[in-house]
A and B are shown apart, each in its own frame.
Chain A
């Protein structure tokens, strides 16, 4: 047995690919059977990751989720900041300033408002619930933007892992809510033109949630909303660990 665990730890990254594949396969199944596709497999898989980390933490009393379980150390690599940031940057491909210019200043305004309002409301809630240091508040505010901006900001500022976990969870809640809520609320907010989809993507961010929500509303709108949502992620990763963090430091 022991030589197998040694082998898995030595080839940790490959084993992490395998296990993550299994988690995602399983989550896709849950998405289809339990929620009839209403909650996308990606949101369920991220939630599953958090659940696994929770139980692993109970078991090992460690701080690194399932990476503390012998044989699973490769998760630390696969889920570490290097791969994560590399993959996030790659999602900017295909985004085009030419298209965003078409919505005019409103598109840009919706992006800034979306990031800043999400951030502020996240910070206020965190503060009200007893978080007081600037790094943690900024990280949770960033998590209120998306489940990507949160951990990117948290890592950049050196926030603790449990705060980063909260920021991911907040982002996942947001993503699920946007996914389910978009088709329900679409008629009331005039979400039927490409332009309105771009404003919506700019306000909400959370690319996965926006894309899934728009797909359930009108598939033709997906590329427009996903485009501004991608810019949202970029803008969030730019503003949260910089300007917004400085503002937080100045206040606290």
Chain B
């Protein structure tokens, strides 16, 4: 059961990434166009569908949850293999590109809250 969850995740991963690669080819660019996003979409859709039919076993979920908990450690490993020495001179850019979008989006929050239906 556990591996069925991992296999489902792998199936979504493969399908999404191949779709991304294929789109890149079709559009004539050397890029994976949204592969990870497609894969996530597939996982959400297939999980929702399986749950609806009562086929999503708890243990299947555990096989996927393991990987979602490995996500931060993997991101830590990923940041430790980047070319930070060269990036360092652009530290200001990283700082501003982290701060300004937050402020810009926050400014929209009151407006969107007003538009939201009341429960």
Contacts and interface: CB of A to CB of B under 8 A. Distances in A.
A148 B72 CA distance: 10
Main secondary structure of the interface of A (DSSP, over half): helix
Contacts of A30: none
B101 to A, nearest CB: 4
A177 interface: yes
Contacts of B115: 106, 109
Contact of B109 (A64, A109, A203): A203
Interface in B61-117: 61, 64-65, 67-68, 70-88, 90-102, 104-106, 108-110, 112-113, 115-117
A85 B13 contact: yes
Interface residues of B, number: 75
Interface string A220-252: 000000000000011111110110011001000
A238 B33 CA distance: 7
B64 A93 contact: yes
A49 to B, nearest CB: 3
Contacts of B88: 54
Max chain B Cβ within 10 angstroms of own Cβ: one of A75, A144, A178, A208: A144
Contacts, number: 336
Interface stretch (A2-10, A31-39, A185-193): A185-193
Contacts of B16: 89
A174 B101 contact: yes
B31 interface: yes
Interface string A79-99: 110011111111111111110
B13 A126 contact: no
Interface of A: 16-17, 20-21, 23-24, 42, 45-54, 56-58, 61, 63-67, 75-76, 78-80, 83-98, 103-104, 106, 109-110, 113-114, 117-118, 121-122, 125-126, 129, 131, 140, 143-145, 147-148, 151-152, 155-158, 160-174, 176-178, 181, 185, 189-191, 193-196, 199-200, 203-204, 208, 233-239, 241-242, 245-246, 249
